[in-house]
């Protein structure tokens, strides 16, 4: 943002943080002072591209790239007339072709490609679809009026609640000041324990305090719909309720269980009974006296060979 500046007077936002840049349909920026000087009579030409411009069409630049402002303005102007909906077409392919045509027109106008023929296409479309354009504009205006009405209702309820809160707070402040004076008078005139008097006045003040009003109930549900045909009912929070699915299969999640501990470790009884030492000689008396047992050695060898398969070996 610090690099942004007016191409005419060379003032940048770094040197003048309060610099206000303006942009017109051509997409080139000028600061507010240069706009006032160059377009003093209401019209003039752009210093960059010499396109004829009017003072009333300049607007504050919202994006860092002025071409984005230009595209936003062009889209607003085009979509005001190219306002067909998907229901106005017989097939989805026709609707996609229509959207592709809009993008092509916007691209041409943003990049100054074949401006004359593009404007002719726009005028021809407006001429061929005049009735449908007016119909969609009327439908859109009805939806906007309904939404504005809902917003006004919420504003009125919010203002009413603010007034009630302000009145209650004022009454509580008056009561608090009165209780404070009564407490001082009681402490000065009474011979009772001061802490007991303070506790008694605190309990009385808590009982006399006015409660805050509850949130206002929403107005009666008003059935309306958007231009797409989707119906909704007014809600206090302003969001549309999620549709409830009354019928249909219910999905129950069942987590998958993956075995990760391997098979059970064979025991000494398994070594003897399942034939692990069938082809191994039996230990001699001298070997057994020294602590050597064939089944224990076999179990140790199995565990060493397959240590990666057994858990806790």
**280 and 206 in a common domain:** no
Residues 132-190 have pLDDT tens digits of 888 877 776 566 667 777 888 888 888 888 888 888 888 888 888 887 887 777 777 77
Residues 191-242 have pLDDT tens digits of 777 777 777 777 777 776 666 666 555 555 455 544 444 454 444 444 556 6
Range with the poorest average pLDDT among 16-25, 62-71, 76-85: 62-71
**300 and 266 in a common domain:** yes
Owning domain of residue 191: 133-224
Mean pLDDT (whole number) for 21-44: 80
The residue from 224, 250, 274 where one domain ends is 224
User: Is the pLDDT assigned to residue 251 strictly greater than 70?
Assistant: yes
- Per the structure, the count of domains in the chain is 3
Give a yes or no: residue 237 inside a domain. Answer: no
Mean pLDDT (whole number) for 20-38: 81
Site of tokens 């609707």:
95
Give a yes or no: residue 243 inside a domain. Answer: no
Give a yes or no: residue 310 inside a domain. Answer: yes
The structure's pTM equals: 0.37
**Mean pLDDT over each residue of the chain, to the nearest integer:** 77
The residue from 106, 125, 144 where one domain ends is 125
Give a yes or no: residue 238 inside a domain. Answer: no
Site of tokens 């206000």:
20
Of 296, 302, 270, which is closest to residue 282 (Cα–Cα)? Answer: 296
More confident residue, 25 or 104: 104
User: Is the pLDDT assigned to residue 82 strictly greater than 60?
Assistant: yes
Of 225, 206, 213, 120, which is closest to residue 168 (Cα–Cα)? Answer: 213
CA 240/CA 233 separation, integer angstroms: 7
The residue from 224, 242, 275 where one domain ends is 224
Give a yes or no: residue 41 inside a domain. Answer: yes
Give a yes or no: residue 16 inside a domain. Answer: no
Give a yes or no: residue 230 inside a domain. Answer: no
């Amino acid at each position: 943002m610090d690099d942004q500046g007016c191409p005419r007077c060379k003032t940048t936002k770094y040197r003048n943080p309060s610099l206000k840049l303006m942009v017109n349909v051509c997409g080139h920026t000028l600061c507010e002072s240069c706009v006032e000087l160059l377009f003093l009579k209401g019209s003039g030409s752009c210093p960059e591209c010499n396109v004829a411009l009017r003072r009333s069409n300049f607007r504050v630049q919202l994006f860092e790239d002025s071409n984005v402002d230009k595209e936003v303005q062009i889209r607003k102007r085009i979509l005001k007339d190219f306002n067909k909906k998907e229901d106005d077409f017989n097939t989805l392919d026709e609707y996609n072709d229509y959207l592709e045509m809009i993008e092509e027109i916007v691209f041409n106008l943003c990049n100054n490609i074949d401006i004359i023929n593009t404007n002719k296409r726009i005028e021809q479309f407006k001429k061929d679809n005049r009735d449908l354009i007016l119909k969609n504009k009327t439908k859109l205006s009805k939806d906007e009026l309904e939404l504005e009405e809902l917003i006004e209702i919420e504003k009125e309820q919010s203002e009413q609640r603010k007034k009630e809160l302000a009145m209650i707070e004022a009454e509580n402040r008056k009561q608090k000041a009165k209780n404070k004076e009564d407490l001082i008078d009681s402490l000065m005139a009474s011979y009772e324990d001061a802490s007991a008097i303070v506790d008694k006045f605190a309990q009385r003040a808590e009982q006399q305090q006015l409660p805050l009003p509850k949130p206002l109930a929403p107005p009666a549900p008003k059935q309306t719909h958007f231009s797409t045909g989707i119906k909704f009912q007014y809600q206090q929070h302003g969001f549309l309720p999620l549709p409830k699915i009354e019928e249909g299969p219910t999905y129950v999640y069942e987590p998958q269980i993956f075995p990760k501990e391997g098979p059970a470790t064979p025991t000494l009884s398994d070594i003897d009974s399942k034939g692990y030492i069938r082809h191994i000689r039996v230990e001699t008396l001298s070997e057994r006296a020294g602590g050597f047992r064939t089944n224990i050695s076999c179990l140790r060898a199995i565990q060493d060979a397959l240590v990666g398969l057994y858990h806790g070996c």
